[in-house]
Amino acid sequence: MRRLFVILGIVLIASTASVAGAGNVLRINRVDVSHAEPVLKGFLSEYCGFAVYVQGEGYLNITVHFNRDGRIVRESYSSPGAFVTYSAPSSGRSYRFPWMPREEFVYPGGAILGGSAEYRLTGMIVKHPGVPPEAGLIALTGTVVAFAPDGAPIVEFSDADFEAAIVRGRSNDGDATADAICAALAP
C-alpha cells in the first residue's frame, strides 16, 4: 500500500472547527512552503556524478469546502509564484520552474473514515531544460484511512488504485530526464 498525505495536511485546519458550518468555504492564502535549505537529491547526484540539490520557494493557497454537516467535501491547492530550483554547487549552475500544478481532493458526500477520495493533479508538473515539460492530468481514487490531529483527511492509494489511475498528457522517459538535468547542471 502506498500512502499519500495531503500537502501540509492543511496545517491550519484546526481553525475550521469554528468555520465549518453549513456549506462554508475556508481559504488559507500565502502559506509559506519554502524549504529552509536545499535538499540533496541522492539518486540524481549519483547518476550525474556531482551533487544535485533541489529547493522549493514560495507560497501555497488552500481552499477547503465543507458540506452542511461540516465534513470536508473538497480541498484544492495552488501555488502561484512558487518555484522549484535545481542546482549544482560544483558548477554554480541552476534552473527553476513553477512549483506544483493545481491539486485537488474531492470527497463525495464528505470525508469519512473508509470513504472514497478522488485526487486530481492538473497542469505543468515539471520543466527540466532539454526535454519537453511534463504536463497534463493525473487522476485516481483512494480511501480515507484516518484523520490527522488537525482534522485533515489522510488518503491511502493502493497499488491497484495507482494501476487504475487516469494519466493524460506528456511525460518523459526517466533516463532522458536525468540526462537533461545532468547536462543542464554539469560543471
**pLDDT 10s digits, 2-57:** 333 343 333 333 333 334 444 598 888 888 888 889 999 999 999 999 999 999 99
Rg of the chain (C-alpha set): 18
Instruction: Tell me the whole-structure pTM to 2 decimals.
Output: 0.72
Total number of domains in the chain: 1
- What is the secondary structure of 14-30 as a DSSP string? GGGGGT--TT-EEEEEE
Domain hosting residue 31, numbered range = 2-185
Question: What single letter denotes the amino acid at residue 100?
Answer: M
Residue 43 neighbours by CB under 8 Å, 6+ apart: none
